[in-house]
Amino acid sequence: MSTQTTTTADPMATRLYEELDRLYKAANTSSKLAMNTINVKIAQTPKETIWSLNKSRLYHYFPQVPKEQRKAVPLLLVFALINRPYIFDLRPGNSFIEYMLQQGYEVYLLDWGTPGLEDKDLTFEDFALNYLPRAIRQVQRHSGSHEFSLLGWCIGATLCTIYAAMRPEDGLRNLLLLTAPLDFSNKEAGPFNRWLNTEHYNVDALVDQFGNVPGELIDWGNKMLKPVENFIGNYLKLWDNLDNPAIVESWLAMNTWVTDQTPFPGASFRQWVNEFFREDRLMQNKLMMQGKIVDVANIKANVLNVIADKDHIVPTCQSTSVMDRLTGTHDKLLLQNAGGHIGMMAGSGAKKRVWPQIESWLAKRSTS
């Protein structure tokens, strides 16, 4: 007669082992962080440069589906004049560009580049009605399609709105706005409105001193909107997850983007503060470019306006009121999602929640 013995592990010993393993992984990650030996790859989706003007570059991303599965209408992405546009392509598996390529879109990205002191006199008119139209013509030539879709994020959405209002017959079929700062009538909406509208904020002295406003200065201002979260909570999140390589790599990728600042061209920054924040010229129908009023009622493209309910940089009221002014289009949708100014599109839940909604709307309007 044989006797079978079953050995059950001591739960306390198991917990101790797991805790030691976690501490070992955390210590190992800490040493790698200290020595700067963790290589996080960003902006990895294959692309080619097909056009340039001054510091600006236009990228075309290589398709990832057969030609017969691709959408007929190409998509051009435009980010703000501050920070780098690779937030659209942060890292493999968390890349909006990669996602849209997999859905069959011909994707292009306009990179404004890093302005030098010689670019301090560039204005919103230069970017929206000189650089952007030239890049669009190249998209049309390269793709072979006269019609195209334009997606702008943050100030990039402001520039795309100006373009769409001033060039309604250029072939723009779909205009997608992400957290678009357009309406500055509410002077109490958000800290930026309160800060920039005070008499103590001397924008002329700032621009005269620097020429271009340093990206580090703008980044400091952005972080001061939520100082505890940005200067303490952000690093506590890293500390609490040192034993999780996936979270650490994601944190490092986002931190790389956040700290990769570019200067804000001086003349554009002066215009941004005076003509937009302080005088609300766009929504008041007083913004003049190329001798004409920039009237959003002239926009004829289909419009998707995406806002974030926890956006502390662009409060939702700065984006929503434009919907009533879009009388030139009969196809418009306001889409609110959970999240912040960047997290809504680049956070961990964006691929499951926000990107499919954008793609679903755009797919129906991107056929021949």
Residues belonging to the active site: 154, 311, 341
Query: 141 with 60: CB under 8 angstroms?
Result: no
Q: What gap in Å lies between CA 40 and CA 251, rounded to an integer? A: 10
Q: Where are the alpha helices (DSSP H) in the chain?
A: 11-34, 96-102, 124-126, 132-143, 155-166, 191-196, 203-210, 215-224, 227-228, 234-240, 245-258, 266-271, 317-320, 322-325, 343-346, 350-363
> 319: which residues sit within 8 A by CB, 6+ positions away?
177, 179, 180, 181, 182, 183, 305, 307
| b/e code 262-300 from CB counts within 10 Å (16+ = b) | bbbbbbbbbbbbebbbbebbbbeeebebeeeebbbebbb
Single-letter amino acid code for the residue at 301: A
Q: Indicate the pairing of strand 107-111 with strand 56-61.
A: antiparallel
Q: What gap in Å lies between CA 276 and CA 120, rounded to an integer? A: 18
Q: 353 — alpha (psi -120 to 50), left (phi > 0) or beta? A: alpha
